[in-house]
Amino acid sequence: MLTAKLFPLGLWLLQQGEVIAFDPISMWRLMGWPARLVVVLLFVMSAWSIGVMIDRFIAFSTARKQSRQFAPLVAGALKDGKIDEAISIADHNKHSHLAKVVGAGLQEFKGDQGVESSQRALERAAAIVHAELKRGIGGLATIGATAPFVGLFGTVVGIINAFQGIAQAKATGLAAVAGGIAEALVVTAVGLFVAVPAVWMFNYFTGKVESFDVEMDNSSSELIDYFIKRVGK
């Protein structure tokens, strides 16, 4: 006879005088070593993705904040023809994606290298900043794509354990397979728990990078126009 009672910590099954609890600690004890290794791997992946999320959020927030301060200051300096001052402003806003690109173009133009050389400098700086902004984001996509499959591997292991339980107990029914089925479902849930936030944040950060790219392209175009006008005077 299998009796089920619902307690605050979850569902408890009474089987042959032993209590099997479906809370995280009890489920961990029920798992075999292969399933435990899968869970540990998933939590490592989760910790790494959370670290990337925090790092990118701080980097993007700082870049946005400094760019808002940088844009009007450098525009005013260039309007007055003060290139040295504009370069100094860019140097003081090193975390701004716009400052990195504009500063590179101004440095090249100041060296009397011509408009074309300045444009190439802007393009190189934009490519470097783009790579910096995307640092770690590709890993989020990888985790989002692979974590469910890692969890699926743990699920397969749990199902195998469930059938082994049937063979050893020489019986069928929920009592014989409860531990293995629960193990399989828990690992699957952990895999989805890791994958879903990673996919969400990958899409969010990708949109942010695209927005920054547009801002850098617009700033580069405006700066090239400024160089052309200045050379034509």
Our measurement of the distance from residue 56's CA atom to the centroid of its chain's CA atoms, rounded to an integer in Å, reads 7
Number of domains in the chain: 1
Q: Is residue 39 packed enough to be buried (19+ CB in 10 Å), middle (13-18) or exposed (0-12)?
A: buried
Residue 28 lies in a domain: no
Residue 98 lies in a domain: yes
The rounded distance, in Å, linking the Cα atoms of 16 and 28 is 21
3-class SS letters over the chain: CCEEEEECCEEEEEECCEEEECCHHHHHHHCCHHHHHHHHHHHHHHHHHHHHHHHHHHHHHHHHHHHHHHHHHHHHHHHCCCHHHHHHHHHCCCCCHHHHHHHHHHHHHHCCCCHHHHHHHHHHHHHHHHHHHCCCHHHHHHHHHHHHHHHHHHHHHHHHHHHHHHHHHCCCCHHHHHHHHHHHHHHHHHHHHHHHHHHHHHHHHHHHHHHHHHHHHHHHHHHHHHHHHHHHC
**pLDDT at site 125:** 93
Residue 40, domain member (yes or no): no
> Which pLDDT score is estimated for 233?
56
**What is the spatial distance between Cα 105 and Cα 118, in angstroms, rounded to a whole number?**
5
Tell me the whole-structure pTM to 2 decimals.
0.78
Q: Is residue 32, in this structure, part of any structural domain at all?
A: no
Q: What is the pLDDT of residue 23?
A: 59
Which residue type occupies 80? D
Q: Residue 37 half-sphere exposure, CB side, CA atoms within 13 Å? A: 5
Is residue 150 situated within a structural domain?
Answer: yes
* CA 21 – CA 29 distance, rounded (Å): 10
**167, part of any domain:** yes
pLDDT at position 144, please?
93
Question: What's the confidence (pLDDT) of residue 170?
Answer: 61
Per-residue pLDDT of the chain (233 residues; tens, 9 = 90+): 333 333 333 333 434 444 455 556 666 666 667 778 888 899 999 999 999 999 999 999 999 999 999 999 998 888 888 888 999 999 999 899 999 999 999 888 876 667 888 889 999 999 999 999 999 999 999 999 999 999 888 888 777 776 776 666 665 555 555 556 766 778 888 899 999 999 999 999 999 999 999 999 999 999 998 888 877 65
pLDDT in the model for residue 8: 32
Domain residues for the domain of 111 are 50-232
The answer to whether position 162 is within a domain reads: yes
Torsion of CA 215, 117, 107, 227, to 10 degrees: -70
Q: Which of 38, 49, 50, 44 is nearest to 188 (CA)?
A: 38
Residue 57, judged by CB atoms within 10 A of its CB (0-12, 13-18, 19+), counts as middle
Which sign does the torsion angle of CA 191, 197, 198, 200 carry? positive
Q: Is residue 5 part of a domain?
A: no
